[in-house]
Amino acid sequence: MNSMASSPIAPNPASFISNKKDLGFIAFSTSSQFSIPKCNRRISKKICSVMAPQQSERRPSTTGSVKTAMTMTEKILARASEKSQLSPGENTWVNIDVLMTHDVCGPGSIGIFKKEFGQNAKVWDREKIVIIPDHYIFTSDERANRNVDILRDFCMEQNIKYFYDIKDLSDFKANPDYKGVCHIALAQEGHCRPGEVLLGTDSHTCTAGAFGQFATGIGNTDAGFVLGAGKLLLKVPPTLRFVMDGEMPNYLLAKDLILQIIGEISVSGATYKSMEFVGTTVESLTMEERMTLCNMVVEAGGKNGVVPADSTTFKYLEDKTSMAYEPVYSDEQARFLSEYRFDVSKLEPLVAKPHSPDNRALARECKDVKIDRVYIGSCTGGKTEDFMAAAKVFLASGKKVKVPTFLVPATQKVWMDVYGLPVPGSGGKTCSQIFEEAGCDTPASPNCGACLGGPKDTYARMNEPTVCVSTTNRNFPGRMGHKEGQIYLASPFTAAASALTGYVTDPREFLQ
Amino acid sequence: MAASSLSLSPNPTTFTTSTKPSFSPAFHTAPHFIKFPNTSQTPTHIIVKPLTTHSPRASLSPIIPRATATPSTTQTTFHGLCYVVGDNIDTDQIIPAEYLTLVPSNPAEYEKLGSYALIGLPSSYTTRFVEPNENKTKYSIVIGGYNFGCGSSREHAPVALGAAGVAAVVAESYARIFFRNSVATGEVYPLESEGRICEECRTGDTITIELTESRLINHTTGKEYKLKPIGDAGPVIEAGGIFAYARNTGMIPTK
């Protein structure tokens, strides 16, 4: 055990874990048979494939133009595993650019890391680990509080660079480091970059695919392994392609698009697969909307979702990261398992009825469903634009909500936007003012809790068997707390419209 | 535990699904070199899992739940009562989020997770999976429909089942992360059935699973069913998870 302490990694370079030094050596000296010179981020962000000169002889089969067309996902994984090409079904060791964990799965992952690599082991790279307490924060549950303490102790011990801590639970604003919901914080803090590989101990890690990167959720044991080794054995998924064209009507949001897709292919339609979203509609979406789209690929069983990076992506990243990144794109001849086409201009606002995200229905078909509450929040529907969308509906109606309406901004940044940004067409009012006039609950402290029904004292948790319209991602039995509760998943437009009537409501009733 | 002396294979073979000839040189120079044991050497003797006792994997090491298994505990047959569930059993139903404050790597909390296994099932399930005030279930085999373990990536889900004493889940299909977590932790065997066994078995039926023959026998109904082979994942689960497997096979140093 002690011998493991300072070198948790196999000393033999031929073994399946290699340390940084070995990797660098191999990458620059003995791997010239690879066709595509690699951007080895471990060594320098500045070395990019397009720039690198050909250094030595290559196999004829690997020179020249692309011999084997690949999808975006295949390309990202190929580069991260230092291979010239990969095909779906191959298992490959992938170097991880960022590992994210949070207060629910972090302590267990840390426990495994310590048990397996040694009590005194060091993480593979203190700058590539992002730790975000966000699930069970504003609770008096002692074990939940302890779990945040475990994260803090580990981050101090390992000198983790990105730890978004919270100590004063009475006022989240007193914690400048605290962000909130991890998937949104990752984007806002510049940890999502095109072409990279991001793993997280949370199934909605796939959200980051919006940035044209490979992002997927893993368990504690895999995360414990990555903490020590910086890489993971991954199977290359085949890709399903979703082409969404047409002008998006002003009553639709990305949530409607992904509910449409999940309804189409079912909750297991993309199991073990990558979902790539393209088309003029996708190109027109903002980053936050693309995040909504990718966020719910796991609800179709998807391993990851990707949107090709474009000027919208680059613009979003401008003030968020100074790290060099290199986007990759699917080759024209890339093989897709299947392709689905949607004319978005013909779609209508949707909901997913209880108790499955693929239980799709038109919002207007559910107009007789009486509801007890509305929840706007989470990694899916708690971003700045989600609150802007809800405010737009409240503003257009000028009415008050008929059921309790809970608002939980995803992050501290979103909270500040809700209180600071003027809503277009409102004469300078902020979302918070519009929400107050509509009779909503005061926007609460940023966290994930209610979406998954955390500790009993979680704000907006469903403790009674009520009916809720929610901008979240799952409506399985018991998801938001009570086993007999009923959750209708919907866009922020539909959620706000439903709050105004007390029934599931098509937002066109107010937006047209 | 002297795992080093228990290597499953003295003569490891290279494992890769990519067999393109142009790649073999790269494989030998790149650091991504995986050794897998020759699985044909897997012992085939049968140890019958008792109806109600703990998982031998857990009982091997009372301190650390994810015990490092040894080949001598190889199980190729499971025998016990089954608990039958339907399609799309998501991880919120397997272990509701309010119990996720329990940390699986903490031995006491690992045991506690077992007591909450499948507690999130709707009230239409009239039989409890784990009786109140118990940590263990009397059902060592869970039979489900398609997409078992969908939803949240929480590793607490296979851990809760394993901690409760479940040896194997038999479902038509699995959600990706649950399957992977089951293998990585070695907590339960995620076995796939050829058909909808969940509609032909009832909670409380006596079941035998013969792993090497990929067969499930329902003694209560007298019917037999074919399972899909567990493949390369089998030896990993048998070892007690990826770390134990990697040590047993010499992939990473023994402790």
SS (H, E, C) B4-24: HHHCCCCCCEECCCCCCHHHH
Q: From B21, which residue of chain A is nearest by alpha-carbon distance?
A: A61
The reply to whether A233 touches chain B by the CB within 8 Å rule is yes
| Chain segment A230-242, per-residue pLDDT in tens | 999 999 999 999 9
**Cα gap A461→A458, rounded to integer Å:** 6
The token pair at A46 is 């500045």
Residues 281-320 of A with CB under 8 A from B: 298, 301, 303
CA-to-CA dists, residue B52 to A279, B139, B166, angstroms: 56, 7, 10
Pairs of CB atoms within 8 A across A/B: 205
Q: Which of A451, A27, A47, A494 is nearest to A252 (CA)?
A: A494
Q: What proportion of chain A, given as a percentage, has pLDDT over 90? A: 87
Residue in A22, A107, A203 nearest the CB of B31: A22
CB contact under 8 A, B150 and A301: yes
pLDDT of A26 over the 80 cut: no
Q: Which run of H or E residues covers position A115?
A: helix A106-117
CA distance A389 to chain B (A): 27
Please state, rounded to an integer, the average pLDDT across all residues of chain A.
90
Q: Which CATH superfamily is domain A98-233 in?
A: Aconitase, domain 3 (3.30.499.10)
| Chain segment A29-56, per-residue pLDDT in tens | 333 333 444 444 444 444 444 444 444 4
Q: What is the pLDDT of residue A253?
A: 98
pLDDT of A101 over the 50 cut: yes
Q: Which of A362, A378, A406, A380 is nearest to A496 (CA)?
A: A406
pLDDT of B15 over the 80 cut: no
CB contact under 8 A, B243 and A484: no
| Chain segment A448-490, per-residue pLDDT in tens | 999 999 999 999 999 999 999 999 999 999 999 999 999 999 9
pLDDT of A294 over the 60 cut: yes
How does residue B251 score in pLDDT terms, banded at 50, 70 and 90? confident
How does residue A23 score in pLDDT terms, banded at 50, 70 and 90? very low
Q: What is the pLDDT of residue A66?
A: 57
- Please name the residue ranges forming H helices in A181-278: 182-188, 220-229, 254-265
Q: Which residues of A touch B252 (CB under 8 A)?
A: 10, 15-17
| Chain segment A188-238, per-residue pLDDT in tens | 999 999 999 999 999 999 999 999 999 999 999 999 999 999 999 999 999
Q: What is the pLDDT of residue A65?
A: 53
Q: What proportion of chain B, given as a percentage, has pLDDT over 70? A: 71
Q: What is the pLDDT of residue A431?
A: 98
pLDDT of B229 over the 50 cut: yes
- CATH number corresponding to A354-511: 3.30.499.10
pLDDT of A99 over the 90 cut: yes
**Cα gap A486→A506, rounded to integer Å:** 18
Q: What proportion of chain B, given as a percentage, has pLDDT over 90? A: 68
Q: From B255, which residue of chain A is nearest by alpha-carbon distance?
A: A1
Please state, rounded to an integer, the average pLDDT across all residues of chain B.
79
pLDDT of A3 over the 80 cut: no
Phi, psi of A416 (to 5 degrees): -65, -35
How does residue B74 score in pLDDT terms, banded at 50, 70 and 90? low
The reply to whether A405 touches chain B by the CB within 8 Å rule is no
Residue in B101, B150, B155 nearest the CB of A136: B101
Residues 316-355 of A with CB under 8 A from B: none
Q: Which residues of B touch A26 (CB under 8 A)?
A: 29-31
The reply to whether A24 touches chain B by the CB within 8 Å rule is no
CB contact under 8 A, A453 and B98: yes
- CATH number corresponding to B45-239: 3.20.19.10
| Other C-beta atoms lying within 10 Å of the C-beta of residue B3 | 22
Give the strand pairing for B189-193 and B168-171.
parallel
Residue in B93, B97, B103 nearest the CB of A454: B97
| Chain segment A55-96, per-residue pLDDT in tens | 444 443 344 455 789 999 999 999 999 999 999 999 999 999
Q: Which CATH superfamily is domain A240-324+333-346 in?
A: Aconitase, Domain 2 (3.40.1060.10)
pLDDT-wise least confident of A168-172, A360-364, B61-65: B61-65
| Chain segment A418-448, per-residue pLDDT in tens | 999 999 999 999 999 999 999 999 999 999 9
Q: What is the pLDDT of residue A67?
A: 72
Residue in A30, A62, A203 nearest the CB of B29: A30
pLDDT of B68 over the 80 cut: no
CB contact under 8 A, A105 and B153: yes
pLDDT of B163 over the 50 cut: yes
First to last CA, chain A: 68
CB contact under 8 A, B253 and A10: yes
**Cα gap B69→A503, rounded to integer Å:** 55
**Cα gap A261→A342, rounded to integer Å:** 9
| Chain segment A140-149, per-residue pLDDT in tens | 999 999 999 9
The residue ranking higher by pLDDT, A363 or B55, is A363
Q: Which of B194, B239, B225 is nearest to B37 (CA)?
A: B239
The reply to whether A457 touches chain B by the CB within 8 Å rule is no
Give span(s): CATH 3.30.499.10, chain A: 98-233, 354-511
Domain ranges for chain B: 45-239
In angstroms, how far is CA B19 from the centroid of its own chain? Answer: 29
Query: Which of the 8 DSSP states describes residue A202?
Result: S
How does residue B253 score in pLDDT terms, banded at 50, 70 and 90? confident
Q: Which of A101, A56, A347, A321 is nearest to A226 (CA)?
A: A101
pLDDT of B133 over the 80 cut: yes
